[in-house]
Amino acid sequence: MILLSRRRELPIATGMPTTMKAKTRSLDRIDLNILRCLQENARISYVDLASQVGLSTTPCLERVKRLERSGIIRGYKALLDPRALKANLLVFVEISLETQSPAVFDEFRRAVAKLPQIQECHLVSGQFDYILKCRIPEMSAYRQLLGDVVLTLPGVKESKSYVVMEEVKEDFSLHVPDIEEFEEK
């Protein structure tokens, strides 16, 4: 179910995951502007945020809290420089599992979730099952991670690694659309 009103709004589907404590409602132009501003600078003061989106402070704060409660804003984090923390090497790893059983997939996911060197793990379609994003200090540490850890994970049949030579673009922001992109024609 999608809710719309006469105002220009972006519909929010009601079939959201239960982990999102989501309350069904629509995002309006001001909500989208708040999201854009917070994504650019999550440390902005509520006074400055309110000024940028054209509200007074209290209504702006109420909207931010509502966006947090609904799960649209999932949290706030500092973006750290990997090199400053000696995580200089970025490697993507394709993983193929031996079988396609739900039990093997679950066991693999649980094991990967415990490994701090693996920043991301995605189940994908195609010639392999998962792709991992790993950050490690250097190649010898990666060889150890691959040989002693990744290849011994439950159900792993094979892996293919891609060492990143140059990070051309790394952006953790999501595109926040303009309200016009969602108008009905």
**Residue 75 falls in which region: left (phi positive, over 0), alpha (psi -120 to 50) or beta:** left
pLDDT over 60 at 182, yes or no: no
Q: What is the pLDDT of residue 178?
A: 87
> What domains does the chain contain, in order, with CATH numbers?
9-77 (1.10.10.10), 82-163 (3.30.70.920)
Residue 184 pLDDT grade (very low, low, confident, very high; cuts 50, 70, 90): very low
Greater pLDDT, 171 or 14: 171
pLDDT over 70 at 78, yes or no: yes
Tell me: the pLDDT tens digits for 105-141? 999 999 999 999 999 999 999 999 999 999 999 999 9
Please report, for residues 92, 97, 114, 126, 132, the alpha-carbon distance to residue 129 in angstroms, rounded to integers and kept in the order given.
13, 7, 19, 7, 10
Overall size of the chain counted in residues: 185
pLDDT over 60 at 183, yes or no: no
Q: What is the pLDDT of residue 8?
A: 35
Compute how many other C-beta atoms are within 10 angstroms of the C-beta atom of residue 136: 21
State the Cα torsion 126-130-131-135 to the nearest 10°: -170
pLDDT over 60 at 185, yes or no: no
53 contacts 37 by C-beta, under 8 angstroms? yes
Greater pLDDT, 107 or 178: 107
Residue 17 pLDDT grade (very low, low, confident, very high; cuts 50, 70, 90): very low
The chain-wide mean pLDDT, for the chain, equals 86
Residue 25 pLDDT grade (very low, low, confident, very high; cuts 50, 70, 90): low
Residue written as token pair 């679950």: 106
Q: What is the pLDDT of residue 4?
A: 33
Average of per-residue pLDDT across 158-164: 97
Residue 19 pLDDT grade (very low, low, confident, very high; cuts 50, 70, 90): very low
Report the distance separating Cα 173 and Cα 102, nearest Å. 32
